[in-house]
A and B are shown apart, each in its own frame.
Chain A
Amino acid sequence: KNEVEQSPQNLTAQEGEFITINCSYSVGISALHWLQQHPGGGIVSLFMLSSGKKKHGRLIATINIQEKHSSLHITASHPRDSAVYICAVWANSKLTFGKGITLSVRP
């Protein structure tokens, strides 16, 4: 059974700070997704990774297959980045979600 752990559980940052959110999993995977859920409830897919690194605007996602770990970085954070960030892992024909991390960015 794949366990997906996200850390930290909750995170508060000041506008402009560099933020890192982590996701660890326990089995070999086929793909990892980072999702963003806004306070209104809508879900947006940020990245899909199977190896390496991806960048989109101020967001960077990395994955280390050997260490079974992925990180989501936010540079120059802004209050509009306040959301829940969820990691989802596709492994052994099963999709497992992390519990999500609540990020609050203060102006």
Chain B
Amino acid sequence: DAGVIQSPRHEVTEMGQEVTLRCKPISGHNSLFWYRQTMMRGLELLIYFNNNVPIDDSGMPEDRFSAKMPNASFSTLKIQPSEPRDSAVYFCASSQQEGFGNEQFFGPGTRLTVL
């Protein structure tokens, strides 16, 4: 398996633009997680899905952020409109079983810069 795939790897955009980050989890994994990492705040959980259903989105910073998982092999994280404070590395991870009691496999991350 190729592991968790994220695209794009780098994104530079201007304030106000819409940004869409994509994630393909490992085949057969039932849980998917979106994280954000900044120097100031470290790693933060944004949202996670079990069997394509969003379970906890309390970490999503505000309404400008939305995440979907239309099927077991694809998820998106959208920011609209983007702001400079959204600049961060966004990681997607998946695990074989539901929840946080299992090993997670991380994607390489998407480095987002909002100018």
* Chain A interface residues (CB < 8 Å from chain B): 30-31, 33, 41-45, 48, 50, 86, 88, 90, 93, 95, 97-100
Q: Which residue of A lies closest to B101 (CB)?
A: A31
CB atoms of B103 and A48 under 8 A apart: yes
Choice from A33, A48, A99 contacting B42 with Cβ under 8 Å: A99
Q: Which residue of B lies closest to A88 (CB)?
A: B43
* Residue numbers in B under 8 Å from A41 (CB-CB): 89, 108-109, 111
CB atoms of B106 and A43 under 8 A apart: yes
Chain B, interface residues (CB within 8 Å), range: 10 to 19
Q: Which residue of B lies closest to A98 (CB)?
A: B42
- B102 proximal to A (CB < 8 A): yes
* Residue numbers in B under 8 Å from A86 (CB-CB): 42-43
* Chain B interface residues (CB < 8 Å from chain A): 42-45, 56, 89, 91, 93, 99-106, 108-109, 111
CB atoms of B104 and A97 under 8 A apart: no
CB atoms of B100 and A33 under 8 A apart: yes
Query: Could you say which of A43, A44, A88 has the most chain B C-beta atoms within 10 Å of its C-beta?
Result: A43
